[in-house]
Copies of this chain bind each other. A is one copy, B any other.
Amino acid sequence: MRVAEPPATALLGFVEAVGPLVAAERVRAADVPAAVLTETSARRHLDQAAGDLEDAERVGARLVVPEDKEWPAWQLLCLATAADRGQRWSGVPLGLWVRGPATLPDVFDRAVSVVGARSASTYGESMAAEIGYGLAAAGMTVVSGAAFGIDGSAHRGALNADGCTVAVLACGVDKDYPLGHAALLDRIAETGLVISEYPPGTPPAKHRFLVRNRLIAALSSGTVVVEAGVRSGARNTATTAAALGKVVMAVPGPITSATSVGCHDLLRTGAAILAGSLAEILEAVGPVGEHLADHPDGPHHRTDGLGDDALRVHEALHRRATRSTARVAVESGVPLDRVRAILPELELTGLAERCEGGWRQAPD
């Protein structure tokens, strides 16, 4: 993990073929296939495994490798097949540095990533917090990237629900990045997980965020973009999630808001499903059939079941004044004999009442 910049798919294949110990020796000796050499030549002389483990332990982190029971092999499978297809942001990590009490496959069994803009609006931050809270309260793990704005709000929402949340970092797990989220990362690591494929001490870098995003996408069954600028890391996560076959949802916002432009673009182009409520998110990304959203079907009116003619007859009745059957026929344009048949039906369902000399609408 120290000798190659992730994702290092050639090295991964080599490790899988010859085993990690032999691989380490042969990388150090440059006795490796050309593709592996390309990935490792710049750092193959580095030999600080012991130091890395110590650094990790100092912040209470452990290293989880594919040989471990805890390895989330099933969740990472999509990254392997994507790499086989030559997909850009793919490739299984060589291992994961993990800080926190939760165990990997457990937390990712029912996980949703909630991502978005760092420069989020108040609307975006409250939506992220509400969605994070609601998902966690429903027993889902909230995965995000610990950034300012949407990410942080989503993590906090999950923590406020006493739920599980996972921060996937683009730097070492011993780095507090962003620095302003040091306390938040500590809180996350108390009950959930802070994870990274980068060895301790690795600083964040632009390309590492993109590489990290594939893990966020892979480790959850769906990605919800809460707010996103036109070009943003969140959109990269959404694109990667879609390419990995995951559900992608986007929360709409006012069209006057620059921080919703990315979400609207995802929705306009059909790259994301509209996330209009927590229930809709749970229905789309939760375990199949467990969270069926009550799709809004609005207020019911007492005239709902009426056919066209009956509706017209009902409308032709006055609320207070009495109207003759003949008058109702003219007003409604419905033939008199039909009106004579419909009015008693409306009376039966409580929509019309017979009065001295005619009919009127029954009061609500």
Contact = CB atoms under 8 A, between A and B. Distances in A.
Interface of A: 4-5, 37-39, 41-43, 46, 123, 127, 205-207, 229-232, 251-256, 260-261, 264-265, 267-268, 270, 273-277, 280, 295-299, 303, 308, 311-312, 315-316, 329-330, 332-336, 339
Nearest to A334: B42
Contacts of A316: 205
A206 B315 contact: yes
A61 to B, nearest CB: 21
B298 A230 contact: yes
Nearest to A203: B331
B333 A39 contact: yes
Contact of A127 (B46, B230, B255, B275): B255
Contact of A335 (B41, B254, B255): B41
B312 A205 contact: yes
A248 to B, nearest CB: 13
Contacts of A207: 308, 311-312, 315
B230 A311 contact: no
A315 B39 CA distance: 17
Contacts of A232: 298
Given A207-B311, A276-B255, A315-B206, A296 B336 contact: no
B38 A335 contact: yes
9 contacts: A5-B312, A41-B336, A42-B330, A206-B311, A252-B252, A255-B275, A261-B296, A265-B296, A267-B267
Contacts of A334: 5, 42
Contacts of A275: 255
Given A268-B273, A274-B264, A253 B254 contact: yes
Given A123-B254, A254-B253, A333 B265 contact: no
A335 B42 contact: yes
